[in-house]
C-alpha cells in the first residue's frame, strides 16, 4: 500500500527496492524532503544509505518503488532525462571529491555549467564566485593534486552548488577529512545550501556531521526510518 | 644489501602482481595479454627463417623439371617421364605433374607411395577440398581423373598448396618439349639459393626492423599497465616501513611477474597461432605448423630480453615519481623534456647511413650492421622525439568544448602516456612510408615491360610440338573468347642441317597474319615475306622463286623434320608492324592453303586470344579448352608488365608483416585504452553521476588518442620521408615522394586509431555506469 507524499515535498520515494545480485541493498525504503531542508541519512556501513542516495538522485534506477521529483516520476524517466536533471537541478559531493585531476580547480567547478552549455568564460566567472564563498578562490589555477584534502572538498562543494541546484546530494562529504576540516566544510556547505534554498540529502555515519541537518533518517537492512531529533 | 633481501622484495612484487583479487588479476591479465601478443609476434619472427628454409628444402626435395641444360638420363628401369602440367584456377596457382614410369625402379615423388596409374591422380588436401566443392566444378572438368590418393606433407611446400600428380602415357613422344623431361631421381643436386642483390637485401633488412620496432615499443607499453595503482600500493608499503630502494625492487618484481606471465601467454599464443597458421593462406603463401620452429637461440634471446626490458622500463618509469609514505608525489609540472639527446638518436642514425649513400648496386653489398643500426636509431628517434613534440604541441592547445578540454588537459598533464600510446603507430607508419618510397623508387628496376599488347589479346596458349593448328578450332566456341589468332611457327633454312641462313616461318589465316604484319591484300594460298626487315637479313636471297628451303632444319644433335619446300612464284611483300608480342614478325608468312601437312608437322602452334572479360570465368574456360585440346598446352595470361619474383615476394612480405603489426598495434592501443579507462572508472562514474553526457566522454576519449596520433603521424611522415630519401640515395635511385602511399599509410594509421576508439566505446559506456560509484 502506498501513502500520499507529505505535502510540499520536493523529492519523495516510496517502497524502494534495489538488489545487487543476491545482496538486497534497499528493501522497502521511504524518503521525503522539502525545499531548503537538510536531511541526514544515517546508518552503518552496508546498510543501503548510499544506494538510497543513488536512487534518489536518478543515478541508478530502483528495482521497484516510486520516486517523485517536483511532481514528475523520476523512476519512470529514461537515462537521458535523468542525466539532464542531474546536470541542471541536482548537485553532488562525494567522499573523495572526485575532481578531475587534469583540470584546474576553477575548471572543475565550472564543469557542470559547461556541460549545460554555458560559455567557458561565463562558467568560470560563476565558478570563481562560488569558490570565493567557499574561501578557495586562491586555488583557482591549481590542480586538485596540488591542494589539501579539505581544500579539495570545498572545491567539490563549490562545484556542486555552481548550477544553483534545487537538491544537493552529499555522500560522506567529510569522510576523508579531519574533524576540524570536516566541520568547516559542513558549515560552508549547509550555509551555502540554505541560502540558496536547496534541499540537501546528506549521507553520513557520523553523528557530528548529521548534527548539521534538520532531520535524520536511519537506514538499516535496506529499510528507512525517520528519527526524532533529541535536542 | 643481501641477495636474500633482493629475492624477498622481488618475490613480494611477484605476489602483488598475481594477487589482489579481481582487480589485480585483471591488471596482470592485461599485461600478460599485451606482452604475450608481442612475444608471440617475436617468436613468429624468429621462426620465419626456419619456415623459409623448410619451404625451400621441400621445394628442392621434389624438384623434377629443372629447366637446366643438363642432359636427361637415358631410358631405363629406374627412369620416370615427368610433364609439367602447372595450371591456375581463379588466380590460384596449382602445381601439376603428369608422370609415366618407364620401369619398376622409377622414382616415386615425395608425399606419394606410388605413381598414379593413367586416368587416376593424387591431389593435395586443399585441392581435394576445392575439387569436391561447388566452386571447383570448372576445375574438375579440367582434371577429370579419378582421385585415388592424397599427396602427403613431404610432397607439399605449404599446407594449403594446390597440387596434383596424374598418371600419364605417351610422354616419350614429347621429350623434346620443354615441359617434359626424364628423371631418375627427385631432388635438385644443388639447392643452394641464389643470393639477394644488395638492394633487395636492404629491403629485407628494413622490412624486419620496421616490423619489429613497434612490437618492442608495444611490449614496453604493456609492462606499464596499472602503473598508477601500483604506485599507490607502493606508497602504502612505504608507510609500513619500506624504503625507496625496496619499493623499486618490489616494482621490478611486479614487472618481472607480468612479463614472465606474458612470456607464457606469448608461447601459448604462438603455439595456437602455429596450428592456425596451417589453415591460413596469406598472399598465396601457406605453411605447415612444423615449419614454424623458432630458432632456439633467438627464442632464448626473446625469453631473456623481454623480462629484462620489462624491469628496465618499469624502473625508468619510476624515475619521475617519488613514492612517499602518505602518497605518490608527482611534481605537478614535471621537468620539461630535453630535446638534445632526443635529436641525437636520429642524427646518429643518419650518420650511420650516410657513408652508404650513392653506393647503389654497383657499390657492392651494403654494410648490414650500419643499415640496421641506422634505421633502428632513426626509428627509435621517433619514439624519443614524439613525447617532446607532443608535450610542446599540446601545451599550446587552448580550451574548447568540454570533451576537448577534458582530453587536452589530460594530455597536457600526462603527455608521456599519450605519446607512448601512439609510439607504435608512429614507428610503423614512419617505417612503412620509407619502405613504400623505396619500393616505388626501385619499382621500375624490378618491373619489366612485357611488350605485349593487352588490348589485342589477353591470353596465349602454346600447344606442344606436333599439335596441328586445326586443333585450335575449339577455342572459337569457348565462352568468353571473342577472337582467336592461331599461328604455327617455326623456321626454314637454306640447308637440311646446320643451315647458314634461316628465317622465321609463320602460318596463319589472313586475319591472324594482319595482326603481326602489314599486308596489301591477302587470300588463302598466298605466301608472304618481309622483304625489307628493320635488321640485316638474307630474306631477299632466300625468297628467290625456285629456291629449295628446308622446314625445321637440324642443328647438331637436335634432329628436325627437314621438310623440303620450293619457293613459289609470286611471294608477296609484307611489312613489319608492332605485333601482339614484343617481337616483330619477319621471314616467311603462309596462309594455311599454301603449305601441305608435312611441312606443318614440324611447327609449334601458338594461339592468341582476345577475350570478353565480362563473361564470368573466361580465363578458366580457356584453360579447360586448352587442357582438352592438349594436356601439355601452356596457358599464359598476359599482363603489360611483370615483376621480379623476389621483389614481389619481399613486397608481399611487407604487406603480410604490416598487416600483423597493425593488428598488434590496434590490439595494443585498445588494451592501453581499456587500462586507462579502468584506472579512471570512479572518476568517470562521478562525471556521469552529475550529468555528463556519454557522448562527451566518448569524444574526449577520441580526442585523447586523436591529438597525439595526429602529431605522431606528422612526425612519422617527416621521419619516413627522410629515411625513404636516404634509402633511395643509398640505392642510387632518383628521389621521388610517393604521395599516394604516404597518404594511404598515414590514413591507415589514423584508421587504426578510429577503430580502436570505436571499439573502446562499449567498454567505456559499461565502465562509466553509475554503479561504478559503489564501493561496497
Residues of B with CB under 8 A from a CB of A: 330, 332, 399, 402, 405-406, 409-410, 412-414, 682-683, 686-693, 696, 770-771, 773-776
Choosing among B690, B695, B768, which should be mutated to test the A contact, i.e. which has the most A CBs within 10 A?
B690
* Gap from B139 CA to chain A (nearest CA, Å): 59
Of B652, B648, B649, B664, whose CA–CA distance to B212 is shortest?
Answer: B664
DSSP states of B477-507 as a string?
TSTTEEEEEEEEEEEEESSSBS-SSEEEEEE
Burial readout B83-113 (b: 16 or more C-beta within 10 A, e: otherwise): bbbebbbeebebbbbbbbbbeeebbebbbbe
Contacts of A54 in chain B (CB under 8 A): 689, 770, 773-774
Contacts of A92 in chain B (CB under 8 A): 686, 689-690
Contacts of B405 in chain A (CB under 8 A): 103, 107, 114, 120
Q: What is the SS3 assignment for A20?
A: strand
Alpha helices (runs of H) in B62-177, residue ranges in sequence order: 125-132, 137-142
- Which stretches in chain B have pLDDT values below 50? 331-332
Residue B23: predicted pLDDT: 66
Choosing among A43, A49, A102, which should be mutated to test the B contact, i.e. which has the most B CBs within 10 A?
A102
Q: Which chain B residue's Cα is nearest to A20?
A: B771
- Which of B413, B692, B693 is the closest to A102 by Cβ? B413
Cβ pair A88:B691 closer than 8 A? yes
Contacts of B601 by beta carbon, 8 Å cutoff, 6+ apart:
B466, B468, B561, B563
Label the pairing between strands B572-573 and B527-529: parallel
Cβ pair B409:A85 closer than 8 A? no
Contacts of B692 in chain A (CB under 8 A): 83, 87, 115
Contacts of B413 in chain A (CB under 8 A): 101-102, 143
With beta carbons less than 8 A apart as the criterion, state whether A166 and A158 touch: no
Q: What is the SS3 assignment for B3?
A: helix
CB pairs under 8 A between A and B: 82
Residue A64: predicted pLDDT: 93
- Which of B402, B409, B775 is the closest to A102 by Cβ? B409
d(CA B144, CA B138): 10
* CB interface of A with B, residues 56-75, below 8 Å: 57, 59-60
Q: Which residues pair with B256 in a beta bridge?
A: none
C-alpha pair distances (Å), B522 with each of B8, B282, B543, B579, B696: 99, 52, 18, 17, 80
* Cell numbers linked to A25: 541493498
* Cell numbers linked to B312: 628496465
Q: Which chain B residue's Cα is nearest to A145?
A: B332
Contacts of B699 in chain A (CB under 8 A): none
Cβ pair B332:A145 closer than 8 A? yes
- Which of A50, A103, A112 is the closest to B690 by Cβ? A112
d(CA B332, CA A142): 9
**The residue count for chain A:** 231
pLDDT in tens, B688-739: 887 888 888 888 888 887 888 888 888 888 888 888 888 888 877 787 787 8
pLDDT in tens, B421-458: 777 778 878 888 887 777 777 776 666 666 667 777 88
Answer yes or no: is pLDDT of A230 > 50.
no
d(CA B38, CA B310): 12
Cβ pair B690:A145 closer than 8 A? no
With beta carbons less than 8 A apart as the criterion, state whether B669 and B421 touch: yes
Of B125, B126, B128, B106, whose CA–CA distance to B117 is shortest?
Answer: B106
Contacts of B110 by beta carbon, 8 Å cutoff, 6+ apart:
B58, B61, B62, B154, B155, B186
Residue A2: predicted pLDDT: 43
pLDDT in tens, A178-221: 888 888 889 988 998 898 899 999 999 888 999 999 999 999 88
Cβ pair A102:B686 closer than 8 A? no
Of B505, B465, B515, whose CA–CA distance to B485 is shortest?
Answer: B515
* Gap from B391 CA to chain A (nearest CA, Å): 14
Max distance between CA atoms of chain A, in angstroms, equals 54
Answer yes or no: is pLDDT of A1 > 70.
no
With beta carbons less than 8 A apart as the criterion, state whether B757 and B670 touch: no
Label the pairing between strands B548-551 and B481-493: antiparallel
d(CA B320, CA B330): 7
Cβ pair B691:A85 closer than 8 A? yes
User: Residues A50, A53, A55, CA angle at the centre, nearest 5°?
Assistant: 110
d(CA A116, CA A162): 11
d(CA B610, CA B625): 15
* Gap from A23 CA to chain B (nearest CA, Å): 11
- Which of A46, A107, A146 is the closest to B776 by Cβ? A46
- Which of A86, A114, A146 is the closest to B689 by Cβ? A86
Label the pairing between strands B146-150 and B92-101: unpaired
Contacts of A83 in chain B (CB under 8 A): 688, 691-693
* Cell numbers linked to B577: 608492324
d(CA B499, CA A185): 114
H or E segment and range at residue B120: strand B120-123
Q: What is the DSSP letter of A130?
A: H
Cβ pair B410:A102 closer than 8 A? yes
* Gap from A145 CA to chain B (nearest CA, Å): 7
d(CA A111, CA A130): 13
Q: Which chain B residue's Cα is nearest to A111?
A: B402
Q: Calculate mean pLDDT across residues A128-146.
A: 91
The torsion defined by the Cα of B207, B212, B214 and B215, in degrees rounded to 10, comes to 150
Contacts of A90 in chain B (CB under 8 A): 690-691
Cβ pair A100:B687 closer than 8 A? yes
d(CA B16, CA B314): 15
- Which of B399, B683, B693 is the closest to A120 by Cβ? B399
Cβ pair A143:B332 closer than 8 A? yes
* Gap from A98 CA to chain B (nearest CA, Å): 6
Q: Which chain A residue's Cα is nearest to B768?
A: A59
- Which of B332, B690, B773 is the closest to A86 by Cβ? B690
pLDDT in tens, A156-187: 989 999 999 999 999 988 887 788 888 888 99
* Cell numbers linked to A91: 548537485
Name the residue with cell 610422354: B171
Q: What is the DSSP letter of B772?
A: G
With beta carbons less than 8 A apart as the criterion, state whether B378 and B723 touch: yes
* CB interface of A with B, residues 91-120, below 8 Å: 91-92, 94, 98, 100-103, 107, 111-112, 114-115, 120
Angle formed by the axes of helices B402-413 and A105-115, nearest 10°: 160
Global pTM exceeds 0.90: no
- Which of A20, A54, A83 is the closest to B691 by Cβ? A83
Of B373, B371, B379, whose CA–CA distance to B427 is shortest?
Answer: B379
Start-to-end CA distance of chain A, whole Å, equals 33
DSSP states of B298-325 as a string?
HHHHHHHHHHHHHHHHHHHHGGG-EEET
User: What percentage of chain A reaches a pLDDT higher than 90?
Assistant: 42
Contacts of B773 in chain A (CB under 8 A): 50, 54, 59, 94
Q: Which chain A residue's Cα is nearest to B776?
A: A46
Contacts of B289 by beta carbon, 8 Å cutoff, 6+ apart:
B159, B274, B275, B277, B278
The torsion defined by the Cα of A43, A47, A48 and A53, in degrees rounded to 10, comes to 10
* Gap from A230 CA to chain B (nearest CA, Å): 31
Q: What is the DSSP letter of B365?
A: S
Amino acid at each position: 500500500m502506498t501513502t500520499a507524499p507529505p505535502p510540499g515535498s520536493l523529492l519523495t520515494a516510496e517502497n524502494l527496492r534495489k538488489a545487487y545480485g543476491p545482496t538486497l541493498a534497499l528493501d522497502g525504503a521511504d524518503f521525503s524532503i522539502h525545499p531548503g531542508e537538510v536531511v541526514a541519512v544515517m546508518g552503518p556501513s552496508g546498510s543501503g544509505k548510499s544506494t538510497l542516495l543513488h536512487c534518489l538522485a536518478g543515478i541508478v534506477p530502483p528495482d521497484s518503488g516510486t520516486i517523485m521529483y517536483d511532481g514528475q516520476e523520476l523512476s519512470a524517466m529514461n537515462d537521458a532525462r535523468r542525466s539532464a536533471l542531474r546536470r541542471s537541478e541536482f548537485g553532488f559531493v562525494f567522499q573523495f571529491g572526485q575532481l578531475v585531476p587534469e583540470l584546474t580547480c576553477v575548471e572543475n567547478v565550472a564543469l557542470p555549467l559547461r556541460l549545460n552549455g554555458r560559455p567557458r568564460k561565463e562558467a568560470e566567472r560563476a565558478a570563481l564566485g562560488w569558490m570565493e564563498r567557499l574561501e578557495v578562490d586562491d586555488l583557482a589555477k591549481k590542480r586538485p593534486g596540488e591542494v589539501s584534502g579539505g581544500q579539495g572538498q570545498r572545491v567539490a562543494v563549490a562545484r556542486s552548488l555552481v548550477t544553483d541546484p534545487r537538491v544537493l546530494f552529499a555522500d560522506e562529504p567529510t569522510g576523508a577529512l579531519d574533524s576540524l576540516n570536516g566541520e568547516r566544510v559542513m558549515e560552508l556547505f549547509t550555509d551555502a545550501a540554505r541560502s540558496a534554498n536547496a534541499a540537501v540529502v546528506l549521507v553520513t555515519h557520523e553523528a557530528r556531521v548529521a548534527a548539521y541537518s534538520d532531520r535524520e533518517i536511519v537506514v538499516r537492512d535496506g529499510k528507512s526510518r525517520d528519527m526524532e531529533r533529541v535536542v | 644489501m643481501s641477495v636474500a633481501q633482493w629475492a624477498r622484495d622481488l618475490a613480494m612484487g611477484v605476489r602483488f602482481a598475481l594477487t589482489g583479487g579481481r582487480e589485480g588479476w585483471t591488471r596482470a591479465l592485461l599485461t600478460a595479454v599485451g606482452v604475450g601478443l608481442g612475444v608471440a609476434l617475436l617468436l613468429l619472427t624468429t621462426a620465419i627463417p626456419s619456415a623459409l628454409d623448410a619451404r625451400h628444402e621441400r621445394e628442392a626435395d621434389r624438384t623434377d623439371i629443372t629447366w637446366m641444360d643438363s642432359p636427361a638420363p637415358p631410358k631405363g628401369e629406374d627412369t620416370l617421364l615427368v610433364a609439367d602440367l602447372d595450371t591456375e584456377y581463379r588466380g590460384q596457382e596449382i602445381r601439376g605433374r603428369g608422370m609415366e614410369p618407364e620401369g619398376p625402379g622409377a622414382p616415386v615423388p615425395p608425399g606419394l607411395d606410388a605413381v598414379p596409374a593413367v586416368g587416376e591422380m593424387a591431389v593435395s588436401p586443399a585441392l581435394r577440398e576445392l575439387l569436391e566443392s561447388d566452386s571447383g566444378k570448372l576445375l574438375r572438368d579440367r582434371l577429370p581423373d579419378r582421385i585415388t590418393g592424397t599427396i602427403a606433407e613431404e610432397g607439399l611446400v605449404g599446407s594449403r598448396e594446390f597440387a596434383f600428380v596424374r598418371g600419364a602415357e605417351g610422354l616419350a613422344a614429347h621429350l623434346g618439349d620443354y615441359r617434359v623431361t626424364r628423371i631418375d631421381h627427385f631432388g635438385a643436386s644443388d639447392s643452394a639459393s641464389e643470393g639477394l642483390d644488395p638492394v633487395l637485401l636492404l629491403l629485407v633488412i628494413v622490412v624486419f626492423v620496421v616490423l619489429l620496432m613497434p612490437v618492442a615499443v608495444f611490449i614496453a607499453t604493456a609492462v606499464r599497465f596499472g602503473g598508477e595503482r601500483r604506485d599507490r600500493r607502493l606508497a602504502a608499503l612505504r608507510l609500513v616501513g619500506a624504503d625507496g630502494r625496496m619499493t623499486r625492487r618490489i616494482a621490478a618484481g611486479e614487472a618481472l611477474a607480468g612479463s614472465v606471465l606474458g612470456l607464457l601467454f606469448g608461447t601459448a599464443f604462438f603455439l595456437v597461432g602455429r596450428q592456425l597458421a596451417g589453415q591460413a593462406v596469406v598472399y598465396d603463401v601457406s605453411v605447415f605448423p612444423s615449419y614454424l620452429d623458432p630458432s632456439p637461440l633467438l627464442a632464448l634471446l626473446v625469453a631473456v630480453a623481454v623480462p629484462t626490458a620489462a624491469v628496465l622500463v618499469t624502473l625508468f618509469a619510476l624515475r619521475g615519481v617519488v613514492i612517499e609514505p602518505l602518497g605518490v608525489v608527482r611534481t605537478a609540472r614535471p621537468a620539461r623534456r630535453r630535446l638534445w639527446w632526443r635529436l641525437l638518436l636520429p642524427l646518429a642514425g643518419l650518420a650511420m647511413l650516410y657513408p652508404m649513400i650513392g653506393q647503389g648496386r654497383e657499390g657492392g653489398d651494403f654494410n648490414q650492421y650500419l643499415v640496421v643500426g641506422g634505421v633502428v636509431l632513426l626509428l627509435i628517434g621517433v619514439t624519443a622525439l614524439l613525447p617532446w613534440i607532443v608535450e610542446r604541441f599540446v601545451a599550446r592547445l587552448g580550451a574548447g568544448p568540454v570533451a576537448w578540454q577534458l582530453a587536452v588537459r589530460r594530455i597536457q598533464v600526462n603527455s608521456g602516456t599519450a605519446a607512448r600510446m601512439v609510439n607504435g603507430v608512429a614507428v610503423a607508419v614512419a617505417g612503412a612510408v620509407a619502405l613504400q618510397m623505396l619500393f616505388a623508387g626501385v619499382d621500375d628496376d624490378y618491373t619489366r615491360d612485357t611488350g605485349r599488347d593487352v588490348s589485342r589479346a589477353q591470353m596465349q596458349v602454346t600447344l606442344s610440338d606436333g599439335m596441328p593448328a586445326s586443333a585450335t578450332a575449339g577455342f572459337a566456341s569457348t565462352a568468353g573468347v571473342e577472337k582467336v589468332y592461331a599461328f604455327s611457327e617455326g623456321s626454314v633454312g637454306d640447308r637440311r642441317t646446320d643451315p647458314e641462313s634461316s628465317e622465321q616461318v609463320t602460318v596463319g589465316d589472313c586475319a591472324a597474319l594482319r595482326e603481326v604484319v602489314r599486308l596489301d591484300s591477302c587470300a588463302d594460298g598466298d605466301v608472304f615475306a618481309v622483304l625489307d626487315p628493320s635488321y640485316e637479313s638474307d630474306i631477299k636471297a632466300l625468297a628467290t622463286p625456285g629456291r629449295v628451303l628446308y622446314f625445321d632444319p637440324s642443328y647438331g644433335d637436335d634432329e628436325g623434320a627437314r621438310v623440303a619446300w620450293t619457293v613459289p612464284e609470286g611471294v608477296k611483300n609484307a611489312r613489319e608492324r608492332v605485333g601482339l608480342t614484343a617481337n616483330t614478325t619477319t621471314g616467311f608468312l603462309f596462309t594455311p592453303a599454301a603449305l601441305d601437312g608435312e611441312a606443318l608437322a614440324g611447327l609449334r602452334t601458338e594461339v592468341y586470344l582476345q577475350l570478353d572479360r565480362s563473361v564470368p570465368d573466361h580465363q578458366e574456360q580457356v584453360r579447360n579448352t586448352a587442357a582438352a585440346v592438349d594436356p601439355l598446352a601452356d596457358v599464359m595470361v598476359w599482363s603489360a608488365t611483370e615483376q621480379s619474383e623476389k621483389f614481389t615476394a619481399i613486397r608481399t612480405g611487407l604487406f603480410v608483416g604490416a598487416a600483423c603489426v597493425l593488428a598488434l598495434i590496434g590490439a595494443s592501443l585498445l588494451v592501453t585504452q581499456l587500462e586507462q579507462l579502468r584506472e579512471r572508472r570512479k572518476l568517470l562514474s562521478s562525471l556521469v553521476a552529475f550529468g555528463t553526457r556519454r557522448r562527451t566522454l566518448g569524444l574526449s576519449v577520441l580526442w585523447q588518442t586523436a591529438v597525439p596520433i595526429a602529431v605522431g603521424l606528422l612526425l612519422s611522415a617527416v621521419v619516413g620521408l627522410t629515411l625513404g630519401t636516404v634509402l633511395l640515395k643509398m640505392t642510387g635511385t632518383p628521389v621521388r615522394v610517393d604521395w599516394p602511399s604516404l597518404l594511404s599509410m598515414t590514413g591507415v594509421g589514423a584508421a587504426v586509431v578510429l577503430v580502436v576508439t570505436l571499439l573502446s566505446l562499449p567498454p567505456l559506456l559499461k565502465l562509466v555506469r553509475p554503479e561504478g560509484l559503489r564501493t561496497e
